[in-house]
Chain A
Amino acid sequence: MDPSSITDFNGFVGVADVRGKGTARHRDGRVETLLFDTDMRFMKGTYVGQDGNVHRGTFGFV
């Protein structure tokens, strides 16, 4: 499955679905443990921009 989130793209991709726990701090001073789940990706290479030209660049799917 192509994990990239842009089309007309040619380059490196990476996907990281990492899960775990962390420390949350609220404005009222409360501190608690919360779960987190991320879907983070990158695309680094050449792509066709909205101007129709080929560009080089790096993008993050955050």
Chain B
Amino acid sequence: MHDFNPGIHPYPHGLFWTVPLGSGHHGRQCGVTVDLGDGTARMRAENLPVRDFFNLPNALLHTHKPVSVGATVSFDIRWTGPATHPSAVTSPPGSAGRVVMSPATMSWSATNAQGFSFQSRRSGTTSFFGQLGHVRNGIFA
């Protein structure tokens, strides 16, 4: 089993599995484009540095020694269009906005420092949940 994510910084109460993704951070093939009018978007990255924590409990509780090994992931995700009319964001308290359900397709691959690699297959890959929208929270809500 493998669990690839950027980690929690600082651990354990810091920024959770979230990294900058703008162009220039990790190369030309990294970034996000959005057309909310069409309900479409694309998110991609190439060789994004992450860690392999091997499983979710260890990623959260850091019980393994070593906790993780170096890894990279590459992905190309496309939201292909709205499947629902916009609905209001009402939770958690302090958040607002509107979202639509939008199915996604994804190509995803990973490698770790122990010589493991993984490449997703197009066939048999399904969008279990996809959503796009515009939200405001904190001081902007």
Contact = CB atoms under 8 A, between A and B. Distances in A.
Interface of A: 1-27, 34, 36-38, 40, 42-46, 48, 57-62
Interface residues of B, number: 61
A1 to B, nearest CB: 5
Interface string B97-139: 1010010111011000011111111001111111111111111
Nearest to A24: B118
B106 A44 contact: no
Contacts of A40: 43, 75, 77, 106
29 contacts: A1-B92, A3-B99, A4-B95, A5-B17, A6-B15, A7-B137, A10-B136, A10-B140, A12-B132, A13-B97, A13-B133, A14-B102, A16-B43, A16-B79, A17-B127, A18-B126, A21-B125, A22-B108, A23-B119, A24-B117, A25-B117, A37-B128, A38-B75, A38-B108, A48-B139, A58-B20, A59-B20, A60-B43, A61-B18
A1 B99 CA distance: 9
Contacts of B92: 1-2
